Amino acid sequence: MPTGVALRDAREQLFDAAERVLLRDGPSGLTSRAVTTEAGCAKGVLHRHFTDFDGFLTELVLDRVTRINAQAIDLGDRAGTGSVADNLTGALVEVFEPVAVAVVGLVISRDELRARLREAVPFGVPILTDAASMITFYLVEERAMGRIAANADAGTLALSLIGAGHLLFADRQAAPPDYAAVHKVVATVIADAVQRRLL
């Protein structure tokens, strides 16, 4: 007798189940059985849609990367409006939402997953690298508009913001940092580029 129930949009439901397991049990608790149990389906459903479990995890990570690419468009549209610090703070809060932080931990903890991801993302850590690219693009736009110094190194600022942001949000047992704490870090990182623009 078959176990579980038929899934509509099985891929999305399996991703949602994996994210819940990852948030609850961490990377070590994320197994194919845990995912299918959480989704309420037979284990074979996962293997019908993905080559194997690492293939499933690869697609899960790449799905999160796609979301960051959509966020990049929104952040780029904000260039020239509001304050640079506010725009960057909002972007970091959005990028480092709990599932994305957990997925970064998953990537770091699984060698086979990193090897598979190298085919799609040849360098860096997916999500972190994509977020840095998003922020670099935004800062280049702001630099072109004269809102940060003309010689500001957008790529280095982006890496600094992503590194600091990841440290703020990673491995939190309680709630994520509040907006003010993130804004303080952002303002500190970009202070020189903003001040030199004013000179």
Instruction: Kindly state whether residues 105 and 19 are assigned to the same domain.
Output: no
Instruction: Kindly state whether residues 12 and 76 are assigned to the same domain.
Output: no
pLDDT confidence tier of residue 199, bands split at 50, 70 and 90: low
Contact (CB, 8 A) for 22 and 106: yes
pLDDT confidence tier of residue 1, bands split at 50, 70 and 90: very low
Instruction: Kindly state whether residues 58 and 40 are assigned to the same domain.
Output: no
Instruction: Kindly state whether residues 142 and 128 are assigned to the same domain.
Output: yes
pLDDT confidence tier of residue 173, bands split at 50, 70 and 90: low
pLDDT confidence tier of residue 172, bands split at 50, 70 and 90: low
Instruction: Kindly state whether residues 34 and 71 are assigned to the same domain.
Output: no
Burial bucket for residue 17 (CB in 10 Å: 0-12, 13-18, 19+): buried
The predicted pLDDT at position 32 comes to 95
The CATH number of residue 173's host domain is 1.10.357
Instruction: Kindly state whether residues 107 and 141 are assigned to the same domain.
Output: yes
The predicted pLDDT at position 176 comes to 87
Mean pLDDT of the residues in the chain: 91
Contact (CB, 8 A) for 116 and 62: no
Instruction: Kindly state whether residues 102 and 40 are assigned to the same domain.
Output: no
Domain that holds residue 159: 52-198
Instruction: Kindly state whether residues 82 and 26 are assigned to the same domain.
Output: no
Which pairs count as long-range contacts for 23-28, CB under 8 Å and 24+ apart, including other chains? 23/98, 23/99, 23/102, 26/102, 26/105, 27/102, 27/105, 27/106, 27/109, 27/110, 28/109
The predicted pLDDT at position 47 comes to 87
Greatest alpha-carbon span in the chain: 75
Tokens for 54?
A: 């690492």
Compute the distance between CA of residue 142 and CA of residue 62 in angstroms, rounded to an integer: 28
The CATH number of residue 11's host domain is 1.10.10.60
Instruction: Kindly state whether residues 70 and 106 are assigned to the same domain.
Output: yes
Instruction: Kindly state whether residues 102 and 187 are assigned to the same domain.
Output: yes
Instruction: Kindly state whether residues 45 and 95 are assigned to the same domain.
Output: no
User: Which of 106, 94, 102 has the alpha carbon at shortest distance from 67?
Assistant: 94
Give the position of tokens 């500190």. 188
Question: Average pLDDT in the 1-8 region?
Answer: 47
Residue 39 vs residues 20, 48, 184: alpha-carbon distances, Å: 10, 15, 40
Instruction: Kindly state whether residues 95 and 146 are assigned to the same domain.
Output: yes
Question: Average pLDDT in the 50-54 region?
Answer: 92
Contact (CB, 8 A) for 46 and 14: yes
User: How many domains are contained in the chain?
Assistant: 2
Compute the distance between CA of residue 30 and CA of residue 103 in angstroms, rounded to an integer: 11
Q: Which residue has the higher pLDDT, 120 or 39?
A: 39
Helices 98-109 and 111-120: crossing angle in degrees, nearest 10, is: 110
DSSP string covering 73-123: HHHHHHTTSS-HHHHHHHHHHHHT-HHHHHHHHHHHH-HHHHHHHHHHS-S
Question: Average pLDDT in the 115-130 region?
Answer: 88
Residue 4 — φ and ψ, nearest 5°? 75, -165
